[in-house]
Each structure stands twice: as structure tokens, then as C-alpha cells.
């Protein structure tokens, strides 16, 4: 497996573009296009929030019923959530405009929106934006970059990943992009993430692989515990790699799943590390749990704890908050058997064991906690299962961003 650049344009036959459409207040790119020159098998997962944005309802229908997908239109700035009938009409008009501009069926057009909830999108700006996107689309690293920038809201960096691998005698390429960075606590999916691939694969197997991969990637991150109304993950596969169509869970499927896991965890980590106001990626790895489910629950509880997140921001080895977060996760364990470690790029120190604080150096702990990626390692000594969750610290900047977001 070879790591590449090129994001959603890395795979054969995929085009992208980004454009300014005047949806955001500032003059910033706010619309993106992903387009495949040939029809795609498509899989997706969506928010579990009862309040679902209009584009989520639109996409679910396409993923479940349409014969194929061929384009994705994304806007940032307005989420098109809590917008009633007018919001659904906006999706219909968006798909119709994209269908005309790209010469594809309207029911092959997927839609993603992100931004303020409760406002209506000025649909004529979307329609004009689609003209620009169609005219500017290209199969290039620059085009993928432009699309990845256009979907950003409070993100500070664009988030892309791509890999290449061999399968059935052919070279297959997969690439994706996503955006965070607030209201991030995905449940069944993430805010907005799009992965393209030139693999030939059946729809059933693709959906299975996607649904499984989400659980240990996007569903293991949290910025603020708020599960968005717009969470959307979409995977488009156009088959241009020319491999024999993947239809069963054989050795090739395992290769594909490994590549998918790499792309998804890479994007998920980028999203967590660029959480609103974040100064550090905060990783919690739980080992020695009784089962996978408990390992996931425990690791997620730690990265979701506001108090622990604030301590990480303050570079403070306040390990009691970590134990406290493990303790209210809903998993039974004996606190006296737990071991806690802080882990940096080169150092690892034992913080807690045998029911009491270890005799560690506060100075060394502060040094580790000042790195841009901080890992807490928890050994439960209950079994063999493990899981990793990713979050970020809680800073003044998070509060600032979210106290002022609309203004």
C-alpha cells in the first residue's frame, strides 16, 4: 500500500473543483464538486440524529434507491438543516442544476451541506455556483485541493488522504477528503467525508465495508460531544481500475478494507486534531479490555471528558480526571488494577497503578503533554480487546469560536 497525494482526484476518472458562490459571509470558497466520468457504485452512512438536514434525507434516498451516483455537490456556510419543505426544494433544485451542467441524471447527484443550522440557502447562488464548478472541474491534485478547501468552515487546514494498492493484477487508487471541526461526535458517520476509488466492487460489499470501517474510525472521534444534523460519509467507486468486480469477502476484500481503514482513520485523526480551537490531537488507547465494545466505550469516554480536555490544554498531568472518565463510562472494573501512561513521540511514563499515583516527574509529564499529539495509554488488565479514540483539547478558542459563530 502506497500513500499518495491527490485526495478525491487520486483515483482514475474522478474530477473535482471548488468555487466561491457567496454562501459564506466572507469571500471564501464555499462550494465543491466531485464528479466521475463514469457511473459509480455508492455507499454511505449518515447521522443518527433525529433532526436530519435536508441533504442527508436526499442522499439516503439516492444511496438506497438510485441505480448509480455520479456527482457530489457540497456547500459550506449554511447547513440546510431545520429548513422544512423549502430545504428539500433546495436539494431538488441543486440536483436539477447539477444534472443539466454535468449531463447526468438528477438522481445520480449527491448533496452535502455544512454550516449554520436554521437558515435557508439562497438557491440561485447554488445554481450559479454549480455552473462555475462544472466549468472548472479537473482531474488533478490542485482540483482536489480546491474542493477540500471549499468544504471547510471553522477548519484551519484541509483534510485529504490517498493510497494505491494492487488487487487482482490491477492498480487500485483510493482518496478522500473531509471537514470538521465543531459539532463533531459522529454516530454512524462523520460531519462530511467523501472517498473516491476506481475499484470495481458490488454495492452490497461496498456498503458492508463502509459500515464496518466507520465504527473504528469516524465513530471514534469527538470534538465536543455534539452529534451533528448533517453527518455524511459517502464512498464512490467507478470501477475504472479494471479489476474483476469484488463481490465476496476474499483476500482481495481484506486488502481493500485495509486501504479503506487507512483512509478513514487518517481523515478521522485529522478531523480530531483540527477540532475547533484545538492545540493538540488527544488520543486515548485502551488495551486489556474484556471486549471491543467496552474498549471503545472507555476510550471514547476519556476523549469526551471536558475536564480532561481542559487539563490537556493546560499541559497538566491531572490523571484523576482520566480515571474519573473511565469510571463513569458505564463499564465495570476494579480501579486498583488499572495502569495509566502518558505517551509522547519519544517518551512514555507510568502515571497511575496499584490504585495510587506513581512516583513520576511532573516536569517530564508536562513535557509530554505539551507535544502536538498526546496519547493516554490505559491498560485495564481485564482481557485482550483494545480500541483507540481521538479527540482534542478544550481551549479558550473553542468557546470564542462557538460564542460568536453566527456573527
Catalytically active residues are 190
Instruction: CB nearer to a copy of itself: give 211 or 318.
Output: 318
**Which one of 15-23, 195-203, 264-272, 306-314 is the stretch in contact with a copy of itself (CB under 8 A)?**
306-314
Q: What's the order of all strands across the beta sheet hosting 373-379?
A: 356-357, 348-353, 339-343, 373-379, 281-289, 385-392
Q: Any contact of residue 313 with a copy of itself (CB under 8 A)?
A: yes
| Dihedral angle computed from the Cα positions of residues 341, 342, 345 and 346, in that order, rounded to the nearest 10 degrees | -60
Q: Which residues within the stretch 179-198 sit at the binding site for a copy of itself (CB under 8 A)? A: 182-183, 185, 187
Binding mask 75-114 toward a copy of itself (x if CB under 8 A, else -) reads ----x-xxxxxx----------------------------
Other CB atoms within a 10 A radius of the CB of residue 309 amount to 27
3-state SS, one letter per residue, for 289-311: ECCHHHHHHHHHHHHHCHHHHHH
Q: Which of 89, 92, 258, 316 binds a copy of itself (CB under 8 A)?
A: 316
- 240, 354 Cβ separation under 8 angstroms: no
Residue that is written with C-alpha cell 468557546 in the block:
399
For residue 169, the 8-state DSSP code is T
Q: Any contact of residue 356 with a copy of itself (CB under 8 A)?
A: yes
Q: How far apart are CA 15 and CA 281, in angstroms?
A: 31
What residues are paired with 69 via a beta bridge? 40
Binding mask 335-354 toward a copy of itself (x if CB under 8 A, else -) reads xx---------------x-x
Q: Any contact of residue 355 with a copy of itself (CB under 8 A)?
A: yes
Binding mask 218-237 toward a copy of itself (x if CB under 8 A, else -) reads ------xxxxxx--------
3-state SS, one letter per residue, for 337-352: HCEEEEECCCCEEEEE
- Please, what is the minimum distance in Å from the beta carbon of residue 150 to a copy of itself? 22
Task: Name the site residues for a copy of itself (rule: CB under 8 A).
Answer: 48-52, 79, 81-86, 116-120, 182-183, 185, 187, 224-229, 304-307, 310-311, 313-314, 316, 318-321, 323-329, 331-333, 335-336, 352, 354-357, 394-396, 398-407
Amino acid at each position: 500500500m502506497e500513500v499518495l497525494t491527490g485526495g478525491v482526484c487520486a483515483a482514475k476518472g474522478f474530477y473535482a473543483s471548488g468555487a466561491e458562490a457567496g454562501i459564506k459571509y466572507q469571500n471564501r470558497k464555499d462550494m465543491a464538486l466531485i464528479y466521475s466520468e463514469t457511473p459509480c457504485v455508492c455507499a454511505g452512512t449518515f447521522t443518527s440524529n433525529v433532526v436530519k438536514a435536508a441533504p442527508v434525507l436526499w442522499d439516503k434516498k439516492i444511496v438506497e434507491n438510485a441505480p448509480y451516483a455520479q456527482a457530489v455537490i457540497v456547500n459550506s456556510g449554511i447547513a440546510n438543516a431545520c429548513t422544512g419543505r423549502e430545504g428539500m426544494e433546495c436539494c431538488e433544485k441543486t440536483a436539477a442544476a447539477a444534472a443539466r451542467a454535468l449531463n447526468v441524471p438528477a438522481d445520480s447527484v449527491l448533496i452535502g451541506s455544512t454550516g449554520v443550522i436554521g437558515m435557508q440557502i439562497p438557491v440561485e447562488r447554488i445554481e450559479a455556483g454549480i455552473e462555475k464548478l462544472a466549468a472548472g472541474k479537473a482531474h488533478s491534485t490542485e482540483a482536489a485541493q480546491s474542493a477540500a478547501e471549499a468544504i471547510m468552515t471553522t477548519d484551519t487546514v484541509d483534510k485529504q488522504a490517498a493510497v494505491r494498492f494492487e488487487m487482482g493484477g490491477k492498480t487500485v487508487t483510493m482518496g478522500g477528503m473531509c471537514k470538521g471541526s465543531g459539532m463533531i461526535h459522529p454516530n454512524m458517520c462523520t460531519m462530511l467525508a467523501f472517498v473516491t476509488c476506481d475499484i470495481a466492487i458490488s454495492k452490497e460489499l461496498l456498503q458492508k465495508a463502509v459500515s464496518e470501517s466507520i465504527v473504528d474510525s469516524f465513530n471514534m472521534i469527538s470534538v465536543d460531544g455534539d452529534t451533528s444534523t448533517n453527518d455524511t460519509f459517502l464512498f464512490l467507486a467507478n470501477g475504472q481500475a479494471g479489476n474483476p468486480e469484488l463481490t465476496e469477502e476474499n483476500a482481495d476484500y481484506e486488502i481493500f478494507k485495509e486501504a479503506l481503514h487507512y483512509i478513514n482513520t487518517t481523515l478521522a485523526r485529522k478531523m480530531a486534531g483540527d477540532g475547533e480551537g484545538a492545540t493538540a490531537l488527544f488520543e486515548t488507547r485502551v488495551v486489556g479490555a474484556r471486549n471491543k465494545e467496552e474498549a471503545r466505550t472507555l476510550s471514547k469516554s476519556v476523549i469526551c471528558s471536558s475536564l480532561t480536555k481542559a487539563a490537556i490544554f493546560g499541559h497538566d498531568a491531572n490523571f484523576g480526571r482520566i480515571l474519573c472518565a473511565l469510571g463513569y463510562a458505564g463499564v465495570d472494573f476494579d480501579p486498583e488494577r488499572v495502569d495509566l501512561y502518558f505517551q509522547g513521540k519519544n517518551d512514555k511514563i507510568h502515571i497511575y497503578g496499584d490504585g495510587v499515583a506513581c512516583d513520576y516527574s511532573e516536569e517530564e509529564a508536562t513535557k509530554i503533554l505539551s507535544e502536538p499529539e498526546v496519547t493516554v495509554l490505559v491498560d485495564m488488565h481485564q482481557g485482550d480487546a483494545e480500541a483507540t479514540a481521538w479527540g482534542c483539547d478544550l481551549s479558550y478558542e473553542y468557546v470564542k469560536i462557538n460564542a460568536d459563530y453566527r456573527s
